[in-house]
A and B are shown apart, each in its own frame.
Chain A
């Protein structure tokens, strides 16, 4: 009993024996994973290893076939998506998933008003609410110059920044970033990851991300897990994973 209590206080996310198949095709065979509070961790693996599916199961996008997902000590597997988001897991998508016909400002304001539970308000004009919070978050994510641009015509890099802003607006405990820097220039990549690092350091936000860019993975993650053929084959600090024979064989190969 004591042991479980300790674990709950220590880990933001505890996943055991997670399984998922789509028809005959098994994506995750058996994944167990723990994320300590306040950690920045990365999940790596070749395309099709199940990284996105893993995120989709945590956030309720897909139904779980078996296993448990505990977030801050609460079992959340198969909860509706909006409840998981309310509970404190925000997510930025790999392919940007924004409100194309609203401006950048309106995109972020929508997420902030949702977090503040003001979306049932039908009387006050929205443009009078949450203005400062929205501008602050736009500034923080480097989107202020584009605040009146329709989100659908932003550059790919800015769309990814907006993804991050929408996720942050939810004031999460755990932030899941699915390839946060895909489509960004190297300068933008650096800025974005610095922001992620700062959020982690200053606010104690736990962060889990997937990434293909080796320099981002080894530059920012403190914990690394290698997902291969639906299961975690190696785990540890970046150094440990770099030296792990199996991980080298399956994924890192000649790249390192």
Chain B
């Protein structure tokens, strides 16, 4: 709630550049939170989540550029296309666990990346798609699109929160903690993992859909494995065992990137050092560390009331 108020007030007091950074934090925050449905809640590392983000981004981009479909219609369609993609690819991924799961998701992610990269006539290949403009009612300034993003991301985060606290969400925690036992109490774990994979991909698609109009273009790099690594960093930084962890991680990562790249080009080196420090010093991420020091902040699952970002 405090975060939400902060998010409403900030754009009026910071320069335009930082409003863009805030928009990016929100979009990447939703992306990272959707990734964390698989990582933090289901206990599997996916290294191809950007594929679904990219599919969402391209769905909206193509529909807006080639067919003039309104953005509000594009958003659910992006979720749908990303979800369908995940339904097919995820079917194979959930048969595997651990490192094999990570590798197969990465391989499928690269597959999607190369298809988009090579298919010039449809996706524009490595040129990407240009001229994706936000609808007229959002104008050309930074603030209106920021608030639009804020609303969509807040709805997305609330939806993910509800799912994570539902019996389905707890079944994911059960699979994470002890997949074997979960089978023995009568759950078809592959089916549940597949469903969760699809849900996570749909919200990644929604995040991706917000990116095109924000950046005025989309490029195949959105699907690349480097882009799949970003939510991993964010979730690990913020804390994968806290619902808001990935969003906080996105804020740290994105702000740090904006800050560091303004005076040096060695951003990857800096981010690498930060990750090393986080992993060594606070393995539960920032919120994990705060939870240890300030117990009242800790989420203990059954009776938390915290809502959105």
Q: Which residues of chain A have a CB within 8 Å of any CB of chain B?
A: 59, 61, 80-83, 85-86, 90-91, 93, 97-103, 105-106, 109-111, 113-115, 118-127, 129, 148, 166, 169-170
Contacts and interface: CB of A to CB of B under 8 A. Distances in A.
Contact of A114 (B162, B185, B199, B300): B185
Contacts of A127: 165, 302-303
A110 B169 contact: no
A166 B189 CA distance: 17
Contact of B167 (A82, A85, A100, A124): A124
B183 A81 contact: yes
Contact of B168 (A102, A109, A122): A122
A110 B174 contact: yes
Given A101-B177, A124-B167, A126-B169, A119 B187 contact: yes
B178 interface: yes
Contacts of B171: 110, 113-114, 119
Given A59-B184, A97-B181, A122-B166, 8 more contacts: A85-B186, A106-B301, A113-B167, A121-B167, A122-B163, A122-B199, A125-B166, A148-B300
A52 to B, nearest CB: 14
Nearest to A117: B186
B170 A110 contact: yes
Contacts of A97: 178, 180-181, 184
B261 interface: no
A170 B186 contact: yes
Contacts of B183: 80-82, 85
Interface of B: 162-163, 165-171, 173-174, 176-178, 180-189, 192, 195, 199, 300-303
Contacts of B185: 85, 90, 110-111, 114-115, 166, 169-170
17 contacts: A81-B183, A82-B184, A82-B186, A85-B183, A85-B184, A85-B186, A93-B181, A99-B174, A101-B177, A106-B301, A111-B185, A114-B186, A119-B170, A122-B169, A126-B165, A126-B166, A129-B167
A83 B178 CA distance: 18
Given A85-B184, A102-B173, A119 B178 contact: no
B221 to A, nearest CB: 32
Chain A to chain B: the 3 pairs with minimum beta-carbon distance, closest first:
A85-B186, A99-B177, A81-B183
Contacts of A59: 184
A122 B162 contact: yes
A81 B182 CA distance: 10
Q: Which of B183, B189, B195 has the most chain A CB within a 10 Å cutoff?
A: B183
B181 A99 contact: yes
B156 to A, nearest CB: 14
Nearest to A111: B185
Nearest to A124: B166
A83 B190 CA distance: 13
B181 A106 contact: no
Q: Which of B166, B171, B181, B185 has the most chain A CB within a 10 Å cutoff?
A: B185
B170 A109 contact: yes
A62 to B, nearest CB: 12
Q: Which of A91, A100, A114 has the most chain B CB within a 10 Å cutoff?
A: A114
Nearest to B168: A122
B188 A80 contact: yes
B194 to A, nearest CB: 12
